[in-house]
Amino acid sequence: MNEDLTITLLVIIGIIVGLVGLAALIAGAVNLFSYAGKQGFVGLAAYVACWVFMAPIMATICIMVGLFVLFVIIRERWF
């Protein structure tokens, strides 16, 4: 019985961490896309080229930027 509870809690924690990671990826990608859009066509072309040729690196950068963006949003709304 105790082992089932432990596995269930680990699965729930894993799902929550995965959803936060997905939200951070999307928030970071949107933030970087808006910054690239401010640079004009060259910025958007560089953004797309980075996703095409360096997808794992861009995903990591987007997650890091997204975690920062989510932290700022939470800090502004709750504190």
Task: Measure the CA–CA gap between 55 and 51, rounded to whole angstroms.
Answer: 5
What digits encode the pLDDT tens for the residues 3-48? 889 999 999 999 999 999 999 999 999 999 999 999 999 999 999 9
- In the chain, the amino acid numbered 27 is A
Handedness of CA 30, 16, 60, 69 (dihedral sign): positive
Query: What is this structure's pTM?
Result: 0.86
**What are the structure tokens assigned to 42, written together?**
């060259």
